[in-house]
Structure 1
Amino acid sequence: MMAAVLGGTGDLGFGLAARLAKAGVDVVIGSRRLERAVEAAEKIRALVGRENVNGAVNRDAVKAAEVVFFSVPYEGLVEIARDVAPFLQPFTVSVSCVVSFAEDVCAAEMLAENLQQGAKVVSALHTVSASLLSDISRAVNSDTFIFGDDRDAKKKVANLLKLVEGLRPVDGGPLKNSRYGELFTRFLVGVNKRYGVSWAGLRVTWLDDEVVNRRWEL
């Protein structure tokens, strides 16, 4: 499988790209500026000791990707989505990792509205620490909710994210529920600040791994 990470030069995107590359996934880092994407790819190759990471401008990064992670600032989401939309394949699943800090806005739905009609959109990783993702020597040991309206698309993303050590994908329901995951990011930012850490995450208790995994196998 090939995955593209748009915004792979930022903290969360870089960490995600590094984790996926470490797990053996072919990764393309996308950026508006080619030199930044290439530089990030070189750093990840050195970090994980593998050659399965490359850099490209956003349009080129998505062309062959089965899964595209949008890990970009909310302010740039619409522009980037419209820019790459014509280059996404029909089978591509687009994943919003974007957070809007406005209570009446859902970034995942915003992404869906600005891609081609019928695009498969999922959202995830709103409750996972970017700094923890970037430290590939540590297991993540967190859950991430997967939101989306297409079950097969959610399953594809969940099985991809399960390759990240210690990351457990939990079905969060339809895409419209993503607004709650996005809002919860603000809560976790506050928790991190109050306790002087940067890696606090979320774990759903009394939900056995076997039950969670079976959900993605059905």
Structure 2
Amino acid sequence: MTTDGPAGAQTVLAIVGGSGALGGGLALRAARAGIPVIIGSRTAEKAAEAAASVAAAVPGAAVQGVENVAAAKAGDMVLVAVPFASQAETLAAIAPHVAGKIVVDTTVPLVPPKVARVQLPPEGSAAACAAKALGPEARLVTAFHNVSAQKLRGEGPVGCDVLVFGDEPEARAAVIELADRMGLRGLHGGVLDNAAAAEAMTSVLIAVNKRYKVAEGAGLRITGIGGTSED
């Protein structure tokens, strides 16, 4: 991410739900990229444990762990990585503290036990649910729907594209830069309404993983665009 604030201080990334599988993978990637990270969790104890794990894997990383709301308050950019069942409660809790901030929601509406079946909510998408929960004050972007936690925990570039959705092009661009720094390739996916396609694709990829026994999780690559992370 670009530098921001006095003396070029780096943007601090808060990861709400950072003690989970996806959140933990994103925290590890961010730390390896030299991005200051605040890991949030339901309890400060779980967050501290997750932060200690990242610090052990990335010596010298600027990482700390706090409760979710405290993380949202402290972060310059807030990334939300929680299950769909927890999305509404989590976003309602952090909403008063993210006005004016870019909030990156990764939520996919998976409904157990049939997670390999597309089951979009009545609102049309998890992105629409997030927009309703956060209100217009937050700069909502959605991304990281189709990359597995296993791939994120590996070292080196990840051979996956990250489709980034949002109604504000500048906010999308900031998240694309974040994805690029993490060793993925971020791509503009268009307005927030388009996020439904990436959300649905997650269930398709889960079905592919099961059918073809893809241990690290299948991902997406968009052809015809130059400038991949491997170029």
Does the pair score TM above 0.5? yes
1:119 CA displacement: 1.5
TM-score, normalised on structure 1?
0.91
Identity of aligned residues (%): 38
Q: Look up the equivalent residue of 1:118 and give its one-letter code.
A: E
Is 1:194 the equivalent of 2:204? no
1:141 CA displacement: 1.2
- Encode CA deviations 1:77-117: one digit per residue, 9 max, x unaligned: 11111111111242x10111010132344111111111143
Check conservation: 2:29, 2:152, Cα contact below 8 A: yes
1:50 CA displacement: 2.3
TM-score, normalised on structure 2?
0.86
The one of 46, 66, 81 equivalent to 2:56 is: 46
Q: Look up the equivalent residue of 2:102 and give its one-letter code.
A: V
Structure 1 segments unaligned to the other structure (5+ residues): 211-218
More displaced stretch, 154-163 vs 38-47: 154-163
Q: How many residues align?
A: 207
Match of 1:213 in 2: none
1:64 CA displacement: 2.8
Q: Look up the equivalent residue of 1:170 and give its one-letter code.
A: L
The one of 133, 146, 152 equivalent to 1:127 is: 146
Match of 2:198 in 1: 181
Check conservation: 1:9, 1:36, Cα contact below 8 A: yes
Is 1:108 the equivalent of 2:127? yes
2-side partners of 1:73 and 1:190: how far apart?
18
The secondary structure found in structure 2 opposite 1:25 is coil
2-side partners of 1:28 and 1:89: how far apart?
18
Q: Look up the equivalent residue of 2:109 and give its one-letter code.
A: S
The one of 163, 167, 174 equivalent to 1:156 is: 174
Check conservation: 1:127, 1:185, Cα contact below 8 A: yes
Match of 2:17 in 1: 7
Is 1:65 the equivalent of 2:107? no
2-side partners of 1:205 and 1:74: how far apart?
30
The one of 101, 104, 113 equivalent to 1:95 is: 104
1:147 CA displacement: 0.4
Check conservation: 1:67, 1:157, Cα contact below 8 A: no
Q: Look up the equivalent residue of 1:139 and give its one-letter code.
A: P
Q: CA RMSD in A?
A: 1.3
More displaced stretch, 40-49 vs 96-105: 96-105
Check conservation: 1:97, 1:124, Cα contact below 8 A: yes
- Encode CA deviations 1:45-79: one digit per residue, 9 max, x unaligned: 00111231110111110113221111001011111
Check conservation: 1:63, 1:89, Cα contact below 8 A: no
1-side partners of 2:134 and 2:143: how far apart?
17
The secondary structure found in structure 2 opposite 1:114 is helix
